[in-house]
Amino acid sequence: MRSKGVLQTEIELVVPFFDVDMMDVVWHGHYVKYFEEARCALLDKLGHNYRQMRDAGYAWPVIDLQVRYIRGAQFGQRITVRADLVEWENRLKINYLVSDAATGERMTRGSSVQVAVEIATREMQFVSPKVLTDAVEKVLA
């Protein structure tokens, strides 16, 4: 199991009918959506969400995404999605863990990497903008 990041948050979801496939399990692509919901909650907790990123002049596209499927979630199942901030100085790396809300059984894990791109110039930044690092330092203090 991966170690926790410096900041984490958890959300709980109930798997909706429209997320399952004909095998009665969550279609694999929907886990990315669950990761996104947890990532947004983590960024809100950080005090630097997507609107604030944009207002600061930066887009943060996902440049890498890893998903490891362990056990498929099913319609109506309550799941917990944890997002852990593990890197922020040069890029934004977040680890995810999806587990059964009732038993704690691990179901899916993954990670995403995002980089800052200055909106005005469309240039990728090789270090994270100060506005992000300041937000992280403020929460960690």
DSSP state of 19: G
Evaluate whether 50 touches 60 at the Cβ level (below 8 Å).
yes
Per-residue pLDDT of 11-51, as tens digits, reads 999 999 999 999 999 999 999 999 999 999 999 999 999 99
Evaluate whether 88 touches 136 at the Cβ level (below 8 Å).
yes
The phi-psi region of residue 86 (left if phi > 0; otherwise alpha if psi is between -120 and 50; otherwise beta) is alpha
- Give a yes or no: residue 2 inside a domain: no
| Chain position carrying tokens 């969550």 | 26
Per-residue pLDDT of 79-110, as tens digits, reads 999 999 999 999 999 999 999 999 999 999 99
- Give a yes or no: residue 112 inside a domain: yes
Within 13 Å, how many C-alpha atoms sit on residue 87's CB side? 13
Choice between 24 and 113, residue whose per-residue pLDDT is larger = 113
- Give a yes or no: residue 13 inside a domain: yes
Which range of residues forms the domain containing residue 112?
7-140
- Give a yes or no: residue 26 inside a domain: yes
CATH number for the domain harbouring residue 123 = 3.10.129.10
* pLDDT for residue 135 is more than 90: yes
| Chain position carrying tokens 């990497």 | 113
pLDDT for 4 equals 81
Q: How many domains does the chain have?
A: 1
Strands 58-59 and 7-14: unpaired
Question: What's the pTM?
Answer: 0.94
| Chain position carrying tokens 């059964």 | 100
- Give a yes or no: residue 93 inside a domain: yes
- Give a yes or no: residue 41 inside a domain: yes
pLDDT for 3 equals 65
pLDDT for 93 equals 97
DSSP state of 9: E
- Give a yes or no: residue 1 inside a domain: no
